[in-house]
Structures are given as C-alpha cells and as structure tokens.
Amino acid sequence: MLQTLNKLSDLIVTNARVVLSDRVIEHGWVACAHGKIVEIGEGKAPERGHDLGGDLLLPGLVELHTDHIEAHYVPRPKVYWDPVAAVVSYDGQIATSGITTVLDSLRVWRDETEVAIDGQAAILADAIATARDAGILRSDHFMHMRCEIPTQHVVEEVSGLVHRPEVRLISLMDHTPGQRQFRDEGKLRDYYRGKSGGKTDAELDVMFAQRLNDQRLYAADNYKRVVELAKRHDVPLASHDDTTLDDVAMALRDKVSVAEFPTTFEAAEALHEAGVQIMMGAPNVVRGGSHSGNIAAADLARRGMLDILSSDYVPSSLLMAALQLPMRVSGIDLPSAVRTVTRNPALAVDLDDRGEIAPGLRADMIQVHAACEAPMVRSVWREGRRVA
C-alpha cells in the first residue's frame, strides 16, 4: 500500500507518540492518503516521512462553543474591523491552537444594553462563507447559533440563518439576573463591574430591570418558536446553564443533545442519567474552577459526568485542559481526556468522519510539544494538508 502513495499529496508522520481512542503508541507512525488516514503502525515506519521527534500526535481538536470571533470583529467598543479580515485572524488563532473543526458560536440577538451586541451574526456568517469560498481558512468552520431567548428580535435573527447548511447547533440561553448561571445576582454585578468601562450599580439596576421585563414579555414564546425552528431544520439543540431539575425537565422535553455548562451537580447528574452529553469549559479545568462560582469541571469528571470540553473564551485552553485533565483526575487517562476535545464533540453534532486517529477517518491531526503546562502546537494538518 505505501508504495502507491502520491508523494505530492500524501503524508507519513513518524517517530510520534500517537494518541488513539483507547491507548497511546509510544513510538509510532501514521500514513495518510487522499485526505484520510490509511494506516497506523508501531516502531519504525516503512518509509521516510515527517519526523515528529517524539512529540504527541493527536486528532485535530473539535470545538463546539467558542464565542471568541466577535472580539476580532469588534476589537474595541464601537470599532468594527473588516469582517473577512476579522474571520481570517480568528481562524489563524483557532488553527494554531490545534482546532481543526470549529463551530463558530455567533450571538444571534440584539441587546441595546451592551454596545458590542447588535445583530452581527449575519455579517459574520457571510464573512466566514466568503473566506471559506476563497480558500483562505485553515480550519473547517460550521455554525453554532447562540440564542438569548428573552430578547425581542431573536426569533427573527434565527429565522434568517437557520436554513444555512453550516448550522450544526442551536443553544437556548437565558442570562436573566437571578437564575441559571447568575442565580446569584451579585456574581453578574461583579462581571459587569469588571468589564472594560464597567457599569455603576445605578446603571446595573436599570439594565437588570429591563432584562427582567424582557424575560416576562418574550421568553416563553421565543423559546417555543426557536425550538420549533431547530426541529423543522433538523438542527441539534443545546441547553445552557441548567441549574434546577425544572431546567433539566425542560431540556429533556425538547430533546437537547448537549447540555452546556450545567451549574449544579443536581442538574448535571440528572442530565447525565438521561444520556445528554455534558459540556464544560476548558478554562474551568485550567483555572481549577468556574469563574462564576459554579461547579468545577474536574469535579464532574471525577464523577464520570464530563463528556465534552469547550474553549469558550480562550481558544488555547482546549488543548491545555485535555492534557491537564489526567493529572487532575485519577482514573482519566490521556486517550479519555483527548476524546472530550475530539471524538465526543464531533459525534455530538453528527460529524462522524473525524475526531480520532483511525483508518478511514479524516487526516485532521496536530503535533504537540508538551514540555510544560503550556503545550505548543508545532504542526496542524487538515485532511492531510499542513495548514499551520
């Protein structure tokens, strides 16, 4: 088989610690052809290839929830960058973090109380499509529509985007003060005080009153209509910040596939027992806990209730968390930890052609030098072609 490889388009990586789904080959090699993995071996490769010098070879990371793209488009309040240039910059950061497949988590709502949230999802979706069509993206991009349910125009925004073939996930969010992630209203006040140009308590009083009123006016009907749109277009749903058993019951009623960032053990356990995939933030693992004071991802992992990690607001945290998890949680080995950032998220959104180093799957792979707690991604291949 190896004698037939096309040297111009195919790839052999050698002298690598190859992380498979269930074990690590300490000295192995991988051969790829036509964008797919065709053979894996131990010891010396049958012919010369790209020598990794003993570095880790992992599947390319799969990211379901990164809301980092807006920071490239709006780098300062009221400062809007060229959207395609912003996407290319963001894509470069994603790829060099080892992420070969990303669901761009676009905020699908407008909020008059925050300067940076003003209905940018369609603009960014178009910019991503333009960059993809031009062949200037390193990673494979899909769309995750983050829907803030108690906002006036969210259904309109979802309706304008849900037909796109790249849409792979819709999350149902409600950040109303006093519930879910911010059940402790003081934590939400701390969050806004700490932001650039932080708000005063008087300003927060006005904002919170408006949000409580918006929830009363819009939440119930919007929730129902967004769920109907997702089901009509066969898009998986994600719940967000499940806190109580009532939250869980709502998620199960609407057949969510993924539970993003449950905030209590009670909710996480009920979701896990129902077979819902539980996603937690990689920064939660790296920092040793939640920035909002909610449950720690490592504690969920110890109970066998952690399925997927997401980089959320720090792209490089995805790889860091996967490599740190075995050191923080006894009983979790490296292949198990790597699955939380590769195969598990891929399967959660029906991308079953990637997320694992195995014959027949996409040759999405990353070379990682892990000499300290901040690992370095040395090479990134997407479908066998080096992109970073």
Domain spans of the chain? 1-59+355-388, 61-353
Taking the C-alpha atoms of residue 345 and residue 103, their distance in angstroms, rounded to an integer, is: 10
Q: What is the pLDDT of residue 2?
A: 41
CATH number belonging to domain 61-353: 3.20.20.140
Residue 16's closest CA among 35, 1, 31, 37?
A: 31
| Cα–Cα distance measured from residue 312 to residue 67, given in angstroms and rounded to the nearest whole number | 6
pLDDT tens across 178-208, in order?
Answer: 566 666 666 666 666 655 556 777 877 787 7
Residue carrying structure tokens 């111009």:
8
Whole-number pLDDT of residue 202? 82
Is CATH 3.30.110.40 correct for 1-59+355-388? no
Q: What angle do CA 266, 269, 275 make, to 5 degrees?
A: 145
* pLDDT grade for 7, boundaries at 50, 70 and 90: very low
Q: What are phi and psi of 352, to 5 degrees?
A: -85, 5
pLDDT digits (tens, 9 = 90+) for 218-238: 989 999 999 999 999 999 999
- CB 202 within 8 Å of CB 189: no
Average pLDDT of every residue of the chain: 90
| Average pLDDT, integer, range 3-28 | 82
pLDDT, tens digit, for every residue of 311-370? 998 999 999 999 999 999 999 999 999 999 999 999 999 999 999 999 999 999 999 999
pTM: 0.90
Task: Report pLDDT digits (tens) over 84-113.
Answer: 999 999 999 999 999 999 999 999 877 655
